[in-house]
Chain A
């Protein structure tokens, strides 16, 4: 019993917080400001506790498993969620139903924790649903905006579709192997056509969630329509969680079919990078822009995943940690501007440096990190992904990836150019950044700079993988 509490610590704390929020909501009449403070403190405690008392083990006959690496992945997600609770203070204060929002968000997070820890395809499916459905409700949270409902609708339809495909894949796998347990599956996989077909269905479901091209079409609309807090949750936390389980599923469960999935990952990685980048070139809305750029980033994550090695695992986890900081910083700045002025296009950012130097430097730093320019951590993250991928020896592939870094630099620089260089008669006025937002942005910047330069962070991740 004791073991149960320690192994499922992450999930239990989240569940506890969800219920606590529910009781606070029903029993008290707190103002949004106080409520938000309570939530931030709870999430901070959750983040801190996550680092202690971690044990490895298996529960429920292999349904649930946890290792030091899985605990680390959960901690990264916790960190992201804590930053989100700080970064979007401006929007949270204005929104109605704040506790409900966090209940949904934490339910989704709970789903992701179970997802990462799942040791069985059934568990995997259930937790994936738990991680998706609350997000669709969150996407609808700007109740008065039509686009927000549209985003939620698109999200729920595509998710349902991908769940259907996933279930079909799972049933085929069960038919072909007679088991759905992660531990037993590898012994039964031999790459027979039926298994390959089942695997393709499973892969497609992952691709939907990770918005890998050609399954990315829902991404931009959903990102644009949702409130920025939800967009950032989707693009950082949700993607991170799915990337973690995707990687461990490929490495551990589908290892015998490496020959099959290596080529799939390779081709999809190239198309994802190229299409994501080319579409990002033309975007005007900053949220759509970040949506497509995050698609391209997934292409890079796939480069690392393709390596099928310890370096692959560690560099992907490392990259996602960096990605949490960089992308959240970018979304945080976009949210601060949009919540006060409603301006969301890159043209609106012209001349921003004259009025808001702090926000400009943060956004520039975040974009440089996303583009992989030293001394930001993004440089190390991307380089390690490419190095891991290059171990397989396909230099053409690495060349394409390197080429994509140039394309991505072009559009990231477009924003930098608008902010720093272009003139504007009426630049956005001085934005009043909340203290907690500023605090979170500074944490993000510190993360962007330090995670790369302090090499022990990478070594720690590597020692766990």
Chain B
């Protein structure tokens, strides 16, 4: 399987969108493109499994390498392991759902879909690149589409949120850039991830570059205290924008922390693990308690995303194979779940024109489908067994508990506590919205249309597939986590 297809396909879709004449054509072209991505992601998944089943032991499969700026040691180097495949599957799910949910966008439809597809291009490129330069390139490609999506199609204080998001993410990228340059010059002027991972980067460099890279990527994934763009950005973005932001874009950060910072600089990871754990526990608890105070559905999901993404960083910071597997599973699970949550919020808002929990009630009576989806996603969020959230969080906790020392145990217990809080805010919000007597003014609202149903079903299928049969995801991810762990475990 040729990995460059994953970049070419969105690119061609984006170009095709530009050539279309009217909104209907644009939508169908985007849907066709997203479907093709979806199929391609599954083709990749099965090809990957076949390759592994036939005993290919290589760390990265389907590697491709083209010369690109050879004098700087930059090459267009692509390749995937299980972790990347999981992230690509996630991206494909969210993209197709996002395209479907945006079917009713009437304002500048062409530009809207163009930017969505461009954003997906950035995500695919990021997950498959094995060269830090192109990884950074794809990371930054995604910033401007996000900015424009929020600023043009958003609601509320959209300009403020768009600016805040763009600047904070650029700030993160700036840290990443300085960190990357540090690695580049101490690693024999190479940006190649695999080559760098074989080298022993001097401990002194690691002590400086690891925090730069980890915090830089951490900004993307709502590392406390750099999470402040998350609530504003998510709540102002249009539905598909929030889905992409929370579902894909925040995962870029988690993936970067794992693949770049932790993998290349194990010494740094061990040194700073304590701080990462402290910050992520703060994010988990703070996010959960902050959600309790929210009255707007989008803010509820945005703050709960801060909390849930804390688990990703906690899993990475715990530095065990299980916890890292859990971190990746949490990324996938949270991506699907939060995308679905934002999709449902968008559907509700389109019909009720409010997102305030207090103004809603009894929606289940008028919108059985949307109401049920809201329940499913709520239960997934609070970690009900059988859905993906439980599996992912459980894996993180199990991995964290492997450490015998008190500090990590306490951290794990504290993180576990957040589940109770999650249950409180989720159940309260979902119950107030969907159950009880039907509020005035909502008598004539309709249930989901075909596109919305399809989008929700696709995402629910993903959530249930992970929840009921987690082993396929585990088998996919854990060899990748093992390789990263092997490097960390070797004492110097």
Residues of A within 8 A of B (CB): 311, 314, 368, 373-375, 379, 383-384, 386-387, 390-391, 393, 395, 398-399, 402-403, 405-406, 409-410, 413, 416-417, 420-422, 455, 458-459, 462
Q: Given A395-B178, A455-B69, are A417 and B151 neighbors across the interface (CB < 8 Å)? A: yes
Looking at the assembled complex, report how far the CB atom of B238 sits from the nearest CB atom of chain A, in whole angstroms. 13
Q: Given A417-B159, A421-B158, are A459 and B170 neighbors across the interface (CB < 8 Å)? A: no
A417-B68 Cα distance, complex, nearest whole Å: 34
Chain B interface mostly helix, strand, loop or mixed?
helix
Q: Given A403-B174, A409-B166, are A379 and B151 neighbors across the interface (CB < 8 Å)? A: no
Residues of B within 8 A of A409 (CB): 166-167, 170
Residues of A within 8 A of B208 (CB): 395
Choice from A311, A375, A384, A395 contacting B137 with Cβ under 8 Å? A375
Cβ–Cβ contact B141 & A398, under 8 A: no
Looking at the assembled complex, report how far the CB atom of B44 sits from the nearest CB atom of chain A, in whole angstroms. 23
Cβ–Cβ contact B72 & A374, under 8 A: no
15 CB contacts below 8 A, A to B, read A368-B144, A374-B141, A384-B72, A390-B181, A390-B184, A390-B185, A395-B208, A399-B178, A402-B178, A405-B170, A405-B174, A413-B147, A417-B151, A422-B159, A459-B70
Interface hits, B367-413 → A, CB 8 Å: none
Looking at the assembled complex, report how far the CB atom of A273 sits from the nearest CB atom of chain B, in whole angstroms. 13
Chain A interface mostly helix, strand, loop or mixed?
helix
Cβ–Cβ contact B166 & A387, under 8 A: no
Looking at the assembled complex, report how far the CB atom of B154 sits from the nearest CB atom of chain A, in whole angstroms. 9
Q: Given A402-B178, A455-B67, are A391 and B167 neighbors across the interface (CB < 8 Å)? A: no
Residues of A within 8 A of B23 (CB): none
Residues of B within 8 A of A405 (CB): 170, 174
Cβ–Cβ contact A398 & B159, under 8 A: no
B29 interfacial contact with A, CB 8 Å: no
B177 interfacial contact with A, CB 8 Å: yes
Residues of A within 8 A of B143 (CB): 373
A462-B74 Cα distance, complex, nearest whole Å: 14
Looking at the assembled complex, report how far the CB atom of A356 sits from the nearest CB atom of chain B, in whole angstroms. 14
B207 interfacial contact with A, CB 8 Å: no
Interface hits, B167-212 → A, CB 8 Å: 167, 170-171, 174-175, 177-178, 181-182, 184-185, 208
A398-B185 Cα distance, complex, nearest whole Å: 13
Looking at the assembled complex, report how far the CB atom of B23 sits from the nearest CB atom of chain A, in whole angstroms. 15
What 3 pairs across the A-B complex have the smallest Cβ distances? Answer: A402-B174, A390-B181, A421-B151
A40-B163 Cα distance, complex, nearest whole Å: 41
A420-B170 Cα distance, complex, nearest whole Å: 20
Residues of B within 8 A of A416 (CB): 147-148
Cβ–Cβ contact B152 & A420, under 8 A: yes
A420-B167 Cα distance, complex, nearest whole Å: 18
Cβ–Cβ contact B71 & A458, under 8 A: yes
Choice from A383, A395, A398, A459 contacting B71 with Cβ under 8 Å? A459
B140 interfacial contact with A, CB 8 Å: yes
A374-B67 Cα distance, complex, nearest whole Å: 19
A25-B261 Cα distance, complex, nearest whole Å: 66
Q: Which of A403, A410, A420, A421: most chain B Cβ within 10 A?
A: A421
